[in-house]
Structure formats: C-alpha cells, structure tokens
Amino acid sequence: MQVLPVGDCVWEIPTTEKPGMLVPARIYASPELLGAMDAGVFEQVTNVACLPGIVRAALCMPDGHWGYGFPIGGVAAFRADTGVISPGGIGFDINCGMRLLRTSLTEDEVRPKLGALVDALFRAVPAGVGARGFVRLTEAAFADVMRQGAGWCVRHGYGWPEDLERTEGRGCLPGADPACVSERAIERGRQQLGTLGSGNHYLEIQVVRPGGIHDEALARALGIEGPGQVLIMLHCGSRGFGHQIGTDYLRAFVVAMRQYQITVRDRELACAPFRSPEGQRYFAAMTAAANTAFANRQVITHRVREVLAEVFGRDPHALGLSVVYDVCHNTAKLERHRIDGEERELLVHRKGATRAFGPGSGDLPAVYRDIGQPVIIGGSMETGSAVLVGTQRAMEETFGSTAHGAGRTMSRHEAKRRIGGRKLLAELEARGIVVRAASIAGVAEEAGIAYKDVRAVVDVLHRVGISRKVASLTPIGNIKG
C-alpha cells in the first residue's frame, strides 16, 4: 500500500489505493513509528475512509495500532446529516478516559509512606475483572447516573463542584437515554461505580522529575509547579457496562445495514445512519455509558481524597487535591468544525484518541480558555506519562484531536509469554516503583516493552503542532487491575 509523505511526520494513503475510499487516510508518525506500525493499521484506516459521510480524511495518531474496526488511535468525522455512527469507531470501553489530580505534596513527603499509601489505595479502589464498587445503586439511581454523569456524584457528596468545571463537557454529555440500554448492560454496570477494572487501567502516583517541565508558564497554569511535586493519574472507563452496550448495538447494526443498504469492508465497522432510529438509539446508549464513566472516575477521585487525607492526616483541600482535567477517549461527539471553508455539524469518532481543543474554544473552562485544553497522555507503569495542551492547528487539521497514550507494540499474550509478572514487580520495586495488582498476569501484560516509547509519540504531536508539550510525569506507585 502506497504511503506518501505530505509533511513533517504526516503521511497519506491516497484514495486510489483501495476501491471505495471516499477520502484519503492520514497517519501522524515519525518514520520510525510508521515503520513499526502493524499492517492492520493501514488496512483499518483505509477501511474507515470508505464509510458513508466521512469528511476530509480518516486519521490515525502516532500511538496507532491494530484495533476492533478502527485502529486504536483512529479519528474520523462524519456529516451529522448524511453520515454514520459505528461502535467500532468508538470502542467497547466507552469513555475510557484520563483524569489528573495535582497535589501540594512532594516526593520527599510521600516516599516514606509510599507502600502504605499504595496499599490503602488498592483497598479503597477495587480493581480487576468483575470488581464491584462501594456505591450501591438502585436501577432508578443508576438511570440518574446515566443522565447526569459526574454531576450526580458531586450532588451526592462524592466530589467538589469545581471538579465539574475541569472535566470535559462538565462530566455529562447530552442525549443519554437509559431506555436505550439493555437490561443485561444495566446488570453488568450498576455495581461498578468507583472501580478500575482490568487491562491497561490504572491509578498511579506520579512525580515531576528535574527536566520534566517543558513549558513553565503552561505548567503553572495547570497547577504543575516543578520538580518533586506529586500528582495522581487515573485511567478507566465504563467497564462492562460500555462493553455490553457496544456488543448489543453491533449486533443490531449488522441487521440495520441490510435495511439501509450499507456495505462495509469489515464487519467490525458495522454502522447505521446517524439520524436513523437505530443510530439515535445507539448514540443515546453510548452517551449513557460515557456519563457513567465520568461518574466512575469521579467516585474514584473521592476515594483518592479520602485515602490521602487519612494517610497524611490533612484535609484534601489542604493537600491541594484538585482536578487538573478529565478528558475522554472512545467517544463519538457532535461538534462543529470547518470543512472546505464552511462550518458543519459533524459526528467525531475518537477511538483511542483524545480531544485536544485549542485556545479560545468555547467548551473549555475559563481557567484554560487562553492556553488550550489540557491533554493527558498515559504511558506505561515503567516509563511515565505526559501532559500537553491542545492547539489551533489541531482544530484546523484533526477535528481538535490528538493521541491518547503510548500505544501497544505487542499483544497481551505475547507480553505474558516474554515477561514474568512477579519478576517484573520485583524489578519495579527495586527501581522505586511500588505496584499492587489484582492479577500477576495483568502486570506482565502492561510491561513497558509492550508499549511504544511515550516520548516518541509526544514528540510527534509536538512537532506536528496538534498538541504542545507541558510536562512529563514519572510513576512511583501504581494500582493495576
């Protein structure tokens, strides 16, 4: 397949490379990252370029790797009036996202209590397959969570009002309808509020190392003050609830495609016209899952504050435990972007990709409107993570989108074959990284060698100009599913 350079770290596959492509496929990557991408990325991103109503280009970010339907790191925007919605372009863990909390603590203060802190967090935030949270919900209360998202949590004492201001969409996306959610999905999701789940989800204690601040003014605006500061990052989503919704509607869309005479190159891209009854029902269910994921991260935030207050004997406000930002990936959102000089309403799918709105965007909180939306890039538990901000170029070129993480380089099975979980835990502890995990095999799956170098991914985003580097964060404690 012909992949042509069209700019620094920007590559394009023309529409002539595959029958049915309506727009080019565009990949953001250094030559090294591009060369290491699996063949499935190129196959999948060009399949996406064939979907009805797609505009400009099918995009793949530098963390891109083979996924279900879309590649992980895939972005595509469809006309709201004539385009489609596809669960394969959103993902099963709907609104799997990142939240970053700052603290006023330093590593010198935390290090003597690190083991006790990680143990206490592991007890307070259930992790692993089938984990259940401490918030007990009736079906009626769970329906309220689906509609209200993180706001439900704050109103019930699981957060601070200012948390909502620093959450994408104030932690509640419009359009959720619990009536569009199956009983099986409700059964799976009702008891999971405040839990991490498994896989690559984590709750991590991080520190700013010397040299970790890349833009001092932007870092200060985000509450990141300098070397030695401790921050808390969490990565999780809608868990089994979102997975069941994705499963339910993929089945329904296989039938709907015949009705609407839609053909796709891969059954994993099953879709329906967005404005069709089927498309609207999935959008309403997907949004309900997204709101539940916001609520999940909000309850975990509440538990983190409780634990740190207990371990350090100080009120969470005194510890400076404020939200920097909460940003989602694995969503489809109605947004307005300019296409061929005209502003249009688009349904932007971000599959393992995150929003990166630039300065001046109306959806940003006032505190960040002049600098752009905070972007949180998760790495591995060995290598660390990154904080960036969105840019105007992202608004113009990628529908205000950027990468979401480091991106895998090998399957979970291969990682377990190569790496022993217990050995890795010992090596991490010797390096000063304390890990508690629900599954030893899960630790091996998430080893650093299973991921791309997060610094290489971030450098591409910065070079291309779709995100701007602010700070690098290094793990010292990790809770894994």
Q: Which residues are catalytic?
A: 404
Q: Are 99 and 206 in contact, with CB atoms under 8 Å apart?
A: no
DSSP-derived letter for residue 405 is B
* CA 403 – CA 167 distance, rounded (Å): 18
3-state secondary structure 151-210: HHHHHCCCCCHHHHHCEHHHHCCCCCCHHHCCHHHHHHHCCCCCCCCCCCCEEEEEECCC
Task: Kindly list the distances between the CA atom of residue 179 and the CA atoms of 143, 239, 360, in Å, as whole numbers in the listed order.
Answer: 9, 19, 36
Q: At a CB cut-off of 8 Å and minimum separation 6, what does 280 contact?
A: 274
**Which amino acid is located at 383 in the chain?**
T
Q: Are 130 and 371 in contact, with CB atoms under 8 Å apart?
A: no
Longest CA–CA separation in the chain, Å: 64
Task: Kindly list the distances between the CA atom of residue 384 and the CA atoms of 329, 411, 415, 451, in Å, as whole numbers in the listed order.
Answer: 19, 20, 18, 11
For residue 45, give both structure tokens.
């991103």
* CA 238 – CA 204 distance, rounded (Å): 19
Q: Are 95 and 294 in contact, with CB atoms under 8 Å apart?
A: yes
For residue 211, give both structure tokens.
């040299």
Q: How does DSSP assign 316-360, residue by residue? A: TTTTT--EEEEEEEEEEEEEEEEETTEEEEEEEEEEEEEE---TT
Paired residues of 340 in beta bridges: none
Helix or strand or coil: residue 261?
A: coil
**Which amino acid is located at 173 in the chain?**
L
For residue 196, give both structure tokens.
């991490």
* CA 317 – CA 339 distance, rounded (Å): 45
Task: Kindly list the distances between the CA atom of residue 438 and the CA atoms of 125, 435, 456, in Å, as whole numbers in the listed order.
Answer: 11, 10, 30
